[in-house]
Amino acid sequence: MSDTSLQFRRARASDLDTIVALLADDMLGSAREDPSVPAAACYVQAFEAIERDANQLLALAERAGTVVGCLQLSFIPGLSRRGLWRGQIESVRVAASERGAGTGRAMFEWALGQCRERGCGIVQLTTDKTRADARRFYESLGFVATHEGMKLELAA
């Protein structure tokens, strides 16, 4: 069931401070993001790179003109599985005032629709192992932990 009071749109450069604030407003983000206003140059450069890439979509959810959520969709072509395209969902955040109200579910319904429109056969995401609530939420949407993800942080 979709929340018709939510509107979805592509993020604009003028939304950058709001997006970074959303990313910083949780247990993990508060330690790794810089919500200074105006947004630091690293965020501006990343936003510009996302905007230039036709396979990237930084999207916002709005309610009554106020941004209440964000996520990034990456559309990934691949040769495996007979050339199957994948949708990758990252940087999902819902405003604290909206958590538990169905906003996240509505955002995912919209995002999955975007992936279908782009011809994706699989949608994947990663979630930090410390985010037990997020994992339960993703499982309630039908996501299954079929693989073990690994990351290697490279020095900047």
Contact in structure between 121 and 85 (CB atoms under 8 Å)? yes
Rg (CA), the chain: 16
**For residue 20, how many C-alpha atoms fall within 13 Å in the half-sphere facing its CB?**
20
Tell me the pairing of strands 120-125 and 85-94.
parallel
**φ and ψ at 38, to 5 degrees?**
-70, 165
Determine if the peptide bond prior to 35 is cis (ω within 30°): no
Looking at residue 150, its pLDDT comes to: 87
Residues in a beta bridge with 74: 56, 88
H/E element, 86: strand 85-94
H/E element, 133: helix 132-140
Contact in structure between 69 and 39 (CB atoms under 8 Å)? no
Give the model's confidence band at 29: pLDDT under 50 very low, under 70 low, under 90 confident, else very high. Answer: confident
Q: What is the pTM of this model?
A: 0.90
pLDDT tens for residues 44-91?
A: 999 999 999 999 999 999 999 999 999 999 999 999 999 999 999 999
Tell me the pairing of strands 85-94 and 56-63.
unpaired
Q: How far apart are CA 16 and CA 24, in angstroms?
A: 12
Looking at residue 155, its pLDDT comes to: 80
The amino acid that residue 106 corresponds to is A
Looking at residue 80, its pLDDT comes to: 94
pLDDT tens for residues 120-135?
A: 999 999 998 888 889 9
pLDDT tens for residues 60-70?
A: 999 999 999 99
On the question of pLDDT at 22 being above 90, the answer is: yes
Of the chain, the percentage scoring pLDDT greater than 70 comes to 97
